[in-house]
Amino acid sequence: MTPFGTTNDGQTVHAVTLSDGTLTVRLLDRGAVLHDVRLAGVDRNLTLASPDLADYEGRMNYFGALVGPVVNRIGGASAEIAGQTHTFEANQGGKHILHSASVGTYAKVWQVADHSARHVTLALTLSDGEGGFPGLRQITARFLLTTPGTLRMEVTGTTDKPTILNFANHSYWNLDGTPTWAGHSLRVEAYAYTPVGEGTIPTGEIRHVAGTPFDFRTARAITPGDATTPALDHNFCLSDQPTALREVLWLKGSSGVSLTLSTTEPGVQVYDGGHTRAPGPGLHQGLAIEAQRWPDAPHHPAFPSIVLNPGEVYRQITEWHFARD
Evaluate the CA torsion angle 105, 109, 111, 112 in order and state its sign: positive
CA 317 to chain centroid: 12
54: DSSP letter: H
Select from 175, 201, 187, 199 the least CA-distant residue to 285: 175
Rg of the chain on CA atoms, in Å: 18
Task: Say how many CA atoms lie within 13 Å of 296 toward its Cβ.
Answer: 24
- Residue 77's SS3 state is helix
How many percent of the chain have pLDDT more than 90?
A: 99
Mean pLDDT in residue range 114-126: 98
pTM: 0.98
How many other C-beta atoms lie within 10 A of the C-beta of residue 87? 12
Within 32-74, residue ranges assigned H as helices are 53-56
Select from 256, 254, 253, 291 the least CA-distant residue to 270: 291
- Output the CA angle 14-15-19, nearest 5 degrees: 150
Which tens digit of pLDDT belongs to each residue from 137-188? Answer: 999 999 999 999 999 999 999 999 999 999 999 999 999 999 999 999 999 9
Select from 49, 149, 133, 55 the least CA-distant residue to 89: 133
pLDDT at position 13, please?
Answer: 98
Residues 6+ apart with CB under 8 A from 129: none
Dihedrals φ, ψ of 53, to 5°?
-60, -30
pLDDT at position 87, please?
Answer: 98
Residues 6+ apart with CB under 8 A from 52: 5
Average pLDDT, the chain: 98
The count of structural domains within the chain is 1
Q: Is the separation of the CB atoms in 298 and 133 below 8 Å?
A: no
Residues 6+ apart with CB under 8 A from 279: 48, 49, 50, 55, 60, 63, 285
pLDDT at position 273, please?
Answer: 97
Domain span at residue 235?
Answer: 2-324
Reported in sequence order, the residue ranges of 94-160 that DSSP labels E, i.e. its strands, are 97-98, 111-115, 119-126, 137-145, 150-159
Read off the pLDDT band of 315 (50, 70, 90).
Answer: very high
Read off the pLDDT band of 203 (50, 70, 90).
Answer: very high
Task: Say how many CA atoms lie within 13 Å of 244 toward its Cβ.
Answer: 0
Which tens digit of pLDDT belongs to each residue from 245-276? Answer: 999 999 999 999 999 999 999 999 999 999 99
What is the DSSP secondary-structure string of 152-182? Answer: EEEEEEEESS-EE-B-EE--EE-SS-SSS-T
pLDDT at position 2, please?
Answer: 97
How far apart are the C-alpha atoms of 180 and 119, rounded to whole Å?
31
**Residue 104's CATH number:** 2.70.98.10
pLDDT at position 234, please?
Answer: 98
Which tens digit of pLDDT belongs to each residue from 189-201? Answer: 999 999 999 999 9
Which tens digit of pLDDT belongs to each residue from 51-97? Answer: 999 999 999 999 999 999 999 999 999 999 999 999 999 999 999 99
Q: β-strands 111-115, 207-208: how paired?
A: unpaired
Read off the pLDDT band of 36 (50, 70, 90).
Answer: very high
pLDDT at position 250, please?
Answer: 99
pLDDT at position 99, please?
Answer: 98
Q: β-strands 119-126, 111-115: how paired?
A: antiparallel
How many percent of the chain have pLDDT more than 70?
A: 100
